Structure 1
Amino acid sequence: MAARRPHQTTSSPAPTFAELGVPDALNRVLATSGVDRPFPIQAATLPDALAGRDVLGRGRTGSGKTYAFVLAVLTRLAASRTPRRAGRPRALILVPTRELATQIDSVMAPLAQALSLRTMTIFGGVAARPQIAGLRAGVDVLVACPGRLADHVGTGAAHLDAVEITVLDEADHMADLGFLPTVRRLLEQTPRGGQRLLFSATLDAGVDVLVRRFLTDPAVHSVDSGLSPVTAMAHHVLHVEPSDRFEVLVELTAAPGRTVVFTRTKRGAKTLARRLVAAGVTAVELHGNLAQGARTRNLQAFADGQVQTLVATDIAARGIHVDDVALVVHADPPVEHKAYLHRSGRTARAGAAGTVVTLMTDGQVPEVRELTRKAGITATTTRLRPGDALLRELAPGERTLVPRPVTPAADVRHDAPPANGGRGRRSGKPATAAASSTRSAPARGGVAAFSARARPSARRGGR
């Protein structure tokens, strides 16, 4: 059924979680985490979700969608008191990537524990047997990537006929990755009368198909435009010579604070991470050619502050939240404006300020101009060389370069997850790409050679 006209959030004072209907047990956990007032997307959607309505929520990355659906799902499951059954989850949260699944579960776990509810994650790239055992033990909330869940449903390890609430998070990203046919097959196996919540940054044609097919008279809430950038975000385009790109990157990433650097390709992320480490920058890589263990360790090392720079493909552009990311650098301008907005949303989250820098060479001028126009942002463009004073304004503080020994990258895979379910060598250390700068230097002028024009390929069950 067609969605209703979106309700825009008003400027009236935000209610408390308790006033919205969140139970005391969850409010106490929220308070210990420093979460005391709802964000607009939470205040807008929780009353309808807690009342059992289907909900379509749109909000930019970093707007707080995770708590919006997690609190609704847990509150309603606790109220229904339906017992857990082997292989039959009571709630299903579908997400596009493994990292997002893990992050949602980490947010939800302490809240679920307060209500004696059990959660688990399912995604590809890791062994299936522990997942099957967890399903057999019974689970209340299952956070899953579509591909691996479809495998478990196909073998009979999972059944979706007891799902009371289904959530689709980052629905537009699942559409971009080609997961919609699998998502539709999974949704068709959930009870027709179950509650469904769909959250997305944009409502493109693929998402609209899901809304019309699976949501019944949904309450629609939009906290901003689908193209709205975060207002506390400063955008800069640095017009550089190809031979200066790497030195400029070193100056930006050697500054204090967390930085996320985006490349277009997996090989580009690996190469750049190695070169930065060789130059003395603490950096790790995150891309689809790393096995799940290495991906988890690298993201944790970045979140814990062991390293200050994460070099990533668009695998990190959606759903990955690390506190206090001060700077996002597009070493390679993304292919499309939506990717620009989602990449940039790794900074300036939850009302904080942040800076976004795009490196641009002469040959990329038309491409970057079109990109920023479609993204609806106004960027300050500056032509500069290494050592320019603007670099210290964009990334202030004392530069620190730490010589590091050469260490091999761990757990690198070169195509689909291995037959052993992603198990492999486990060093227990972040897969910090380190190599001599001579050996790893990309051809034809620094990072410009990182990227093909094609976007990173999607993988079944999350990249």
Structure 2
Amino acid sequence: MTFASLGLTEPLLHTLAELEHSAPTPVQTAVIPALLAGRDSVASAQTGSGKTAGYLLPVLQQLAASPRTLEPNTARTLVLVPTRELAQQVCTSLDTYGRDLQARGLAVYGGVSINPQMMALRPGVDVLIATPGRLLDLIEHKALRLTGVERLVLDEADRLLDLGFSDEIERILQRLPSRRQTALFSATFPSAVRALANSLLHDPVRVDIRTDAATAPGILQRAIVVDAERRTSLLYHLVRSGNWPRALVFVATRHRCEQLVAKLNRVGIHAAALHGELSQGAREHALADFKACRLLVLVATDLAARGIDIEQLPAVVNYDLPRSAIDYTHRIGRTGRAGERGCAVSFVSASTEAHFRLIEKKQGQRIEREHIAGFEPVQAAATLAPGATEGGVKGKRKSKKDKLREAAQKSEPRTGLKIRKV
């Protein structure tokens, strides 16, 4: 199979050849012809499988095939994403794939001044990549109208359709034309979200590439048993003895993120934090330094688990276990991308053993427990007080953002599409 056989035109084929993209991935093979034909689509495939190109290439070709004068403060294609970092990444990919075409793209997101984004929208854009909150801000400022949207893409659709974004997505959908092409992409589609997603689509093409990050052969998964208070010392040991040029370390909270970064830097391990309460500039700087190998360790909350593409990342560490099996899949999918090999390490303490077993059950696999010499655990699960946990267990504590959104949901009447909690 070649990109030419999928129906892509010469300008895109020329760019793909220059980028040394020799052949389409399975998800691209399945979804590109469907999108070019104007079909709605829902695609589930592992992280790093080429989903972004899978929807951007058809979008660029469709725009080139039907050029038209842009109307002020409008967009022809809307791509919704859950994070600022993913918005920037998709916009960069759009510029890369569309460099031989004339499509005008723009990424808009919070954490930065809205005024430059309002100015950039005045002449209209071909492709608008947006986080939901900032998109609604622009609409409320009368800087954007969605009446001209011809195509809607939800990237990381399962995250966009869950409780955290449901109210914002509902308000956006109410403003979109009913006649449009819609495509949903994600590495995971829980059954409840899948049923809800289907209500947004008309006679969709369904693409389900079964292999996901949790079972991908390129990712070596390890579960190391260690007492909670010794995780930091074990992380020092692994970073230094594993010869990792870089490691992405996931923690449960902003406070834990900052605390661990400070400890790493004190022992000479160059580290930085990435979480939602940093300024946009600080987030961009940390991610750029990590991608450029100027950092040895990036300590992040689940902000970095969704869609962020870091080439040749050798290791991911779950310092705190993720809240759910779905989050586990997205986290470890940051390594072992695009045919590379990677390692995903999870720290399992006595208080989190039961939660990790639940993750294993949801993934349909068992990961052998390891003991590292010098870090053998002293605590046992049976000795802990009932209900004791070490963080990261789903449902134990809501984030500040979740609490604010729930309060807004209760105070604002809901109409139109009803999106239930999943």
TM-score normalized by structure 2? 0.87
Query: 1:387: Cα distance to partner?
Result: 7.8
**Separation (CA, whole Å) in 2 of partners of 1:203 and 1:362:** 30
Query: 1:282: Cα distance to partner?
Result: 1.5
CA contact (8 A) 1:175 1:207 kept: no
Question: Partner of 1:174 in structure 2?
Answer: 160
Query: 1:181: Cα distance to partner?
Result: 2.5
Does residue 199 (structure 1) correspond to residue 142 (structure 2)? The answer is no
CA contact (8 A) 1:326 1:348 kept: yes
Does residue 454 (structure 1) correspond to residue 397 (structure 2)? The answer is yes
**Separation (CA, whole Å) in 2 of partners of 1:92 and 1:159:** 11
Give the % identical residues. Answer: 36
Counterparts in 2 of 1:209 and 1:362: CA distance versus 1, 3 Å: closer
1:298-328: per-residue Cα shift (whole Å, max 9, x none)? 0000001111211000001110110011111
Question: Partner of 1:116 in structure 2?
Answer: 102
Question: Partner of 2:416 in structure 1?
Answer: none
Question: Partner of 1:241 in structure 2?
Answer: 227
Select 1:276's aligned residue among 232, 242, 264: 264
Query: 1:207: Cα distance to partner?
Result: 4.5
Does residue 34 (structure 1) correspond to residue 9 (structure 2)? The answer is no
* Unmatched tracts of structure 1, length 5 or more: 1-14, 389-447
TM-score normalized by structure 1? 0.79
Query: 1:451: Cα distance to partner?
Result: 6.4
Question: Partner of 1:43 in structure 2?
Answer: 29
Question: Partner of 1:299 in structure 2?
Answer: 287
Higher RCO (C-alpha under 8 Å, 6+ residues apart): 1
Select 1:208's aligned residue among 195, 207, 211: 195
**Separation (CA, whole Å) in 2 of partners of 1:171 and 1:32:** 30
Question: Partner of 1:141 in structure 2?
Answer: 127
**Separation (CA, whole Å) in 2 of partners of 1:230 and 1:122:** 33
Question: Partner of 1:354 in structure 2?
Answer: 342
CA contact (8 A) 2:352 2:390 kept: no
Select 2:39's aligned residue among 47, 53, 58: 53
**Separation (CA, whole Å) in 2 of partners of 1:253 and 1:228:** 22
- The 3-state SS of whatever aligns with 1:261 is strand
One-letter amino acid matched to 1:206 = V
Query: 1:456: Cα distance to partner?
Result: 4.3
The range that moved more, 40-49 or 361-370, is 361-370
**Separation (CA, whole Å) in 2 of partners of 1:242 and 1:203:** 32
- State how 1:290-369 maps to structure 2 within 5 Å: 290-369=278-357
Query: 1:273: Cα distance to partner?
Result: 1.0
Aligned residues: 387
- The 3-state SS of whatever aligns with 1:114 is coil
**Separation (CA, whole Å) in 2 of partners of 1:386 and 1:290:** 36
**Separation (CA, whole Å) in 2 of partners of 1:141 and 1:99:** 17
One-letter amino acid matched to 2:85 = E
Question: Partner of 1:441 in structure 2?
Answer: none
CA contact (8 A) 2:161 2:169 kept: no
CA contact (8 A) 2:214 2:332 kept: no
Question: Partner of 1:221 in structure 2?
Answer: 207
- State how 1:394-409 maps to structure 2 within 5 Å: none
Question: Partner of 1:97 in structure 2?
Answer: 83
1:406-439: per-residue Cα shift (whole Å, max 9, x none)? xxxxxxxxxxxxxxxxxxxxxxxxxxxxxxxxxx
**Separation (CA, whole Å) in 1 of partners of 2:38 and 2:89:** 25
- The 3-state SS of whatever aligns with 2:159 is helix
The range that moved more, 236-245 or 164-173, is 236-245
Question: Partner of 1:152 in structure 2?
Answer: 138
One-letter amino acid matched to 2:365 = I
One-letter amino acid matched to 1:315 = L
CA contact (8 A) 1:227 1:376 kept: no
Query: 1:361: Cα distance to partner?
Result: 1.7
Question: Partner of 2:274 in structure 1?
Answer: 286
Counterparts in 2 of 1:209 and 1:27: CA distance versus 1, 3 Å: same
Counterparts in 2 of 1:228 and 1:239: CA distance versus 1, 3 Å: closer
Counterparts in 2 of 1:315 and 1:53: CA distance versus 1, 3 Å: same
Query: 1:377: Cα distance to partner?
Result: 3.2
1:240-267: per-residue Cα shift (whole Å, max 9, x none)? 1334321210122233322110001111
CA contact (8 A) 1:163 1:191 kept: yes
* Unmatched tracts of structure 2, length 5 or more: 377-388, 406-422
**Separation (CA, whole Å) in 2 of partners of 1:218 and 1:99:** 29
Query: 1:450: Cα distance to partner?
Result: 7.5
**Separation (CA, whole Å) in 1 of partners of 2:103 and 2:17:** 19
- The 3-state SS of whatever aligns with 2:53 is helix
**Separation (CA, whole Å) in 2 of partners of 1:451 and 1:281:** 24
**Separation (CA, whole Å) in 2 of partners of 1:227 and 1:24:** 33
CA contact (8 A) 1:171 1:207 kept: no
Question: Partner of 1:232 in structure 2?
Answer: 218
- The 3-state SS of whatever aligns with 1:90 is strand
**Separation (CA, whole Å) in 1 of partners of 2:65 and 2:10:** 13
Select 1:263's aligned residue among 251, 261, 274: 251
Question: Partner of 2:415 in structure 1?
Answer: none
Counterparts in 2 of 1:226 and 1:203: CA distance versus 1, 3 Å: farther
Question: Partner of 1:75 in structure 2?
Answer: 61
